[in-house]
Structure 1
Amino acid sequence: MKHIVAVQAVVTADEFDREPMAAELDAIEREMPLIVAEVDLLDVQIGLLDRPATVLNERRIRRARNRVLAARRDLTNRAATALTGGAA
């Protein structure tokens, strides 16, 4: 039986030992509304896993999905505006 082992040491081991750079923190800050909306959607979905489908539960899921879509739209529009240099 042959054993599979790494031939070389991991080259990027130091990459994980650093703090986030300012640009990475700014990117996280810009995406935070989307992250929060996705976490809220996940929270609603987890909360309704063992419950029967009711009109109220379907409304909760739909509203959470709409918040995610709105956050994605806003993030995309902000990125497109930043790339083009402003509104046309």
Structure 2
Amino acid sequence: MSVRSSSADDRRKELRILTDRVRSTLELANRRYTVIQYPTKYKERSIDLIAINRNRENVVIRIRKTPTLSRDEVRDLIKASMA
């Protein structure tokens, strides 16, 4: 197995773990959801879920691995953790 292949496998494994955690959280919140896309080969692909929020609107949740976060993303995460 090449280093590149191993790295891609590691990314897929991490995305799968993250997806399982998001799905678990949605289930604990009694939210309905469906997985609409799953990564196969391309390294930048994400896992997408469609969930329904409290206002009965569809919400797209995109799960992908990223080495950095923007200031806006950090601020949003802080606000969400304090809610």
TM-score range, shorter chain: 0.3 to 0.5
TM-score normalised according to structure 1 size: 0.34
Q: TM-score, normalised by structure 2?
A: 0.35
- Which structure shows the bigger proportion of residues in strand conformation? 2
Bigger Rg over Cα:
1
Which has the larger share of helix? 1
Higher relative contact order, structure no. (Cα contacts within 8 Å, ≥ 6 residues apart): 1
